[in-house]
């Protein structure tokens, strides 16, 4: 059996074989084809849309790669509850069944403030999923958000290697806390997503293999990866972009290791390649995340340079994505798009 066939059958390979697979393009064609077969066997041709609401670009952290880190000059904004609800209304009218509230770690949004917003969305849209992407909080806070109606949470671990983590983050941030947050979220009952940047500064293939091993221990429902793109004004602003090719290869590897995962074709992929998201779907991804934030704020959520989809109204975004999804041979699903967990026999 080839590496790829074994990865499909066993959902795993020894480190050395994974290293070979990741460091060459020799297997790419077979990898993408096999990953697409596996994705279609679990999710068919469905692509799930997640309406992204970037509700604050304030952040108390200083991750070295991030354009909205607290030390970076950025025009800061926060959306009001009314503005957030308006975004949800627009998204719902467009057929979106998931709202993703994404923001920096902004102390303005206390537990009370967030619970009030989450509960309001939940009472208006009982048939929708509410996803949070708001960074690290206490287990108690996560529980309160869950009880208020949130049911999914995205928290990229970014790198599972302690040394690499310390190169990307200031010393006050801790990988062990990040990992603990992810396990707490699972324990509470969220559908949990994690992920990492491909080609972040100083990343090695060994680091990526550590990421895959960490994800095996977490068993995430969602896995988001995108190529690293430098952000102006950060310590890493002159580092090169991550590789689109390696990102696509990894999407396929992830699909074979985690057949049931929800994997987005990310905006970062679309930023580096005009057909990046279509290629992501063909490599095994099954989610896209159209932006629902008010157009006047989109250009301010500058986590990296040249981010796409900042100038279009939400309805235009949907039309554009629909065309892209169909041109890649898939179809938009109008379901809430929960993870399909494997039934244990």
CB of 158 to ligand SF4, least distance (A): 8
Binding span for ligand SF4 by CB under 6 A among 64-72, 121-129, 183-191, 198-206? 64-72
Closer to ligand SF4 at the Cβ: 291 or 333?
291
> By C-alpha distance, which of 47, 37, 42 is closest to 322?
47
* 105 binding ligand SF4? (CB under 6 A): yes
Among 18, 66, 208, 317, binds ligand SF4 (CB under 6 A): 66
* 63 binding ligand SF4? (CB under 6 A): yes
Closer to ligand SF4 at the Cβ: 266 or 333?
266
For residues 291 and 314, the answer to whether their CB atoms sit within 8 Å is yes
Q: Helix or strand or coil: residue 331?
A: strand
* 79 binding ligand SF4? (CB under 6 A): no
Among 18, 47, 68, 130, binds ligand SF4 (CB under 6 A): 68
SS (H, E, C) 91-127: HHHCCCCEEEEEECCCCCCCHHHHHHHHHHHHHHCCC
Q: Helix or strand or coil: residue 269?
A: helix
Closer to ligand SF4 at the Cβ: 304 or 330?
304
For residues 292 and 7, the answer to whether their CB atoms sit within 8 Å is no
CB of 72 to ligand SF4, least distance (A): 8
Q: Residue 200: which residues within 8 A CB-CB, separation 6 or more?
A: 65, 158, 159, 164, 168, 228, 242
Q: Residue 180: which residues within 8 A CB-CB, separation 6 or more?
A: none
* 135 binding ligand SF4? (CB under 6 A): yes
Binding span for ligand SF4 by CB under 6 A among 62-70, 122-130, 286-294, 308-316? 62-70
Which whole-number Å values give the CA distances from 334 to 93, 96, 203, 274, in the listed order?
12, 7, 38, 25
CB of 92 to ligand SF4, least distance (A): 26
Closer to ligand SF4 at the Cβ: 67 or 276?
67
How far is 56 from 62, CA to CA, in rounded Å? 15
Q: Helix or strand or coil: residue 81?
A: helix
Among 8, 32, 69, 164, binds ligand SF4 (CB under 6 A): 69
Closer to ligand SF4 at the Cβ: 12 or 105?
105
Binding span for ligand SF4 by CB under 6 A among 9-17, 59-67, 216-224, 330-338? 59-67
* 61 binding ligand SF4? (CB under 6 A): yes
Which whole-number Å values give the CA distances from 48 to 129, 195, 294, 318, in the listed order?
12, 18, 21, 12
Closer to ligand SF4 at the Cβ: 102 or 252?
102
How far is 146 from 153, CA to CA, in rounded Å? 10
CB of 103 to ligand SF4, least distance (A): 7
User: For binding to ligand SF4 (CB under 6 A), which residues are involved?
Assistant: 59, 61, 63, 66, 68-69, 104-105, 135
């Amino acid at each position: 059996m080839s590496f790829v066939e074994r990865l499909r059958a066993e959902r795993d390979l020894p480190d050395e074989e994974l290293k070979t697979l990741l460091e060459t393009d020799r297997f790419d064609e077979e990898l993408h084809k096999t990953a697409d077969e596996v994705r279609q066997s679990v999710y068919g041709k469905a692509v799930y849309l997640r309406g992204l609401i970037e509700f604050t670009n304030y952040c108390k952290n200083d991750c070295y790669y991030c354009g909205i880190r607290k030390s970076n000059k950025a025009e800061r904004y926060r959306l009001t509850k009314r503005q957030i609800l308006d975004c949800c209304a627009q998204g719902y009218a467009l057929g979106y069944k998931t709202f993703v509230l994404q923001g920096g770690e902004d102390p303005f949004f206390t537990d009370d403030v967030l619970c009030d917003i989450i509960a309001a969305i939940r009472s208006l849209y009982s048939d929708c999923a509410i996803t949070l992407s708001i960074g690290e909080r206490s287990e108690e806070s996560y529980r309160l958000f869950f009880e208020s109606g949130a049911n999914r949470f995205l928290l990229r671990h970014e790198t599972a290697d302690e040394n690499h983590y310390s190169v990307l983050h200031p010393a006050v941030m801790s990988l062990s806390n990040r990992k603990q947050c992810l396990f707490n979220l699972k324990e509470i009952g969220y559908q949990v997503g994690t992920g990492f940047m491909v080609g972040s500064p100083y990343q090695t293939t060994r680091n990526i293999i550590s990421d895959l091993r960490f994800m095996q221990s977490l068993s995430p429902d969602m896995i988001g990866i995108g190529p690293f793109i430098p952000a102006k004004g950060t310590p890493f602003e002159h580092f090169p972009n991550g590789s689109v090719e390696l990102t696509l290869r990894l999407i396929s590897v992830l699909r074979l290791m985690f057949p049931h995962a929800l994997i987005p074709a990310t905006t970062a992929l679309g930023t580096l390649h005009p057909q990046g998201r279509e290629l992501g779907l063909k490599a095994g991804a099954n989610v896209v995340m159209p932006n629902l934030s008010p157009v006047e704020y989109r250009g301010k959520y500058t986590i990296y340079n040249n981010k796409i989809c900042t100038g279009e109204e939400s309805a235009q975004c949907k039309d554009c994505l629909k065309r892209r999804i169909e041109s890649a041979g898939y179809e938009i699903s109008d379901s809430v798009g929960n993870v399909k967990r494997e039934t244990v026999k």
